[in-house]
Amino acid sequence: MENKASGGVSPMKKQPVPALIETGSGRKRSLWKRLLAQKHLQTMALLGVAWMIIFNYIPMYGMIIAFKEYNIVKSIAEAPWVGLQHFRELYEDEDLRYVIKNTLGISLIKLLIGFPLPIIFALFLNEVRSIRYKKAIQTISYLPHFLSWVVLGGILATWLADVGIVNNILMALNLIDKPISYLAEPSYFWTIVISSDIWKELGWSAIIYLAAIAGVSPEMYEAATIDGAGRFQKMWYVTLPAIRGTISILFILAVSGVLNSNFDQILVLRNSLNETASNVIDYYIYYTGIVTSRFSYSMAVTLIKSVIALILLLIANQVTKKVNDTSLF
C-alpha cells in the first residue's frame, strides 16, 4: 500500500513462520518410510550383513582353540585349556624362520613391483586415443584374471616343462644349452610366482584406477594444455594427484595383506623339489592344520598372522593419513 505522506511504500509486516520441529516419533516414522521405500535395497544389504555375520564373525569363536588342546573327536568346549603352550612351540619352531623368509620375500617383491605396475598401465592405457584399440588391450590384459590357478598352474607347468615352449624358445635362440626344469629348481620359484601373479592380475587391478581416472574433470586437462603441458606432464601433475586417494586406500590394503602369499597359486606350483622356496605361512598353516591334524597349533599361527596384519593395517593407515591426508578411518 502506498504511503501518500512519504510517497513510499509501507512494508507489509510478515508473520513469523513457526519452525517445524521433528519429534522423536516423527523421526521414527520418517525412518520407517525411507526403509519401506528402499525395501529392495535394504533386503540386499541385509543379506550381505547376514552372510558376513555367519561366515566372518560367528567362526571367530573357534579362535579359542589356539589356547586349548583341540581334538576333532571332542567339541571346542570340551577341549582342555593349555594357555600359551602352542605359542611357545611356535617360537621354538626352527622351520618357521624359512617360512617367514619365503613369505616376506615373495610378498614384499610383489608389493614393490606388482603394486605400481597397474597404476602405470592404467595411466598409459588412458592415453590411448583409439577406443577400439584401448578396449582390445584392456580385454586381453584382464582375461587371465578369470582363469583359476588350477587351470593357469597347469598351463604354466606345461610351458615350463623340459619340453615346454619356454625351453624350446631359449634353446632355439642359443640362450641355454640344455632344458631346465624350472619348477624343480628352488632358485626360479620366486620369479615364477611373482611374474605369473603380476601377469594374471595386472589388467584386473588396473580397472579401479581407470575408473578413478575417468572421474577426473576434463577442465583440468584443458587448463594444463593451455599452460603448455605435454602428455607425461599431464599424467604427473594432473592424473596422479587426482587419483591419489584411490592409490592410498589400495596401498593400505596391500600392506595389511603382506603376509598373504596367494595360497591357491603356491599350492598349485609347489612340489617336493622346490619346497625350500615355496613353503610360506599360508601353506604352513594348511599343512600343520589339515595334513598333520595340529588344529590348535595352526590356529595359533593364524592368530599371530591376523594380529600382525592388523598392526600393519593401522601403521599404513596412519602413515598415509599423515603423508597424504587419506585413510580408511
Render pLDDT for 76-120 as a digit per residue (tens, 0 to 9).
989 999 999 999 998 888 888 889 999 999 999 999 999 999 999
Residue 124 forms part of a structural domain: yes
Residue 242 CA to residue 266 CA, distance in Å, equals 36
- The answer to whether residues 250 and 119 belong to one domain is yes
Sequence-ordered list of residues with C-beta below 8 angstroms from that of 186, at least 6 positions apart, any chain: 273, 274, 275, 276, 277, 278
Task: Provide the residue type at 195 as one letter.
Answer: S
Q: What is the DSSP letter of 68?
A: B
- The answer to whether residues 93 and 121 belong to one domain is yes
Q: Using CB atoms within 10 A of its CB, is residue 237 exposed (0-12), middle (13-18) or buried (19+)? A: middle
Residue 7, pLDDT score: 45
Residue 201 CA to residue 150 CA, distance in Å, equals 15
- The answer to whether residues 191 and 294 belong to one domain is yes
- The answer to whether residues 32 and 110 belong to one domain is no
Q: What is the pTM of this model?
A: 0.81
Task: Provide the residue type at 72 as one letter.
Answer: I
Would you put residue 188 in left (φ > 0), alpha (ψ -120 to 50) or beta? alpha
Are the C-beta atoms of residues 316 and 270 closer than 8 Å to each other? Answer: no
Residue 290 forms part of a structural domain: yes
Task: Give every residue of the chain whose pLDDT is below 50, as ranges.
Answer: 1-13, 17-21
Residue 159 CA to residue 168 CA, distance in Å, equals 9
Are the C-beta atoms of residues 22 and 30 closer than 8 Å to each other? Answer: yes
Domain hosting 30: range is 23-67
Residue 293 forms part of a structural domain: yes
The beta strands (E) that lie in the chain are given as 2-3, 8-9
How many domains are there within the chain? 2
- The answer to whether residues 36 and 108 belong to one domain is no
- The answer to whether residues 48 and 98 belong to one domain is no
Residue 118, pLDDT score: 95
Reduced to 3 states (helix: H, G, I; strand: E, B; else coil), residue 185 is coil
Distances (CA, A) of 217 to 224, 261, 262: 12, 38, 37
- The answer to whether residues 44 and 171 belong to one domain is no
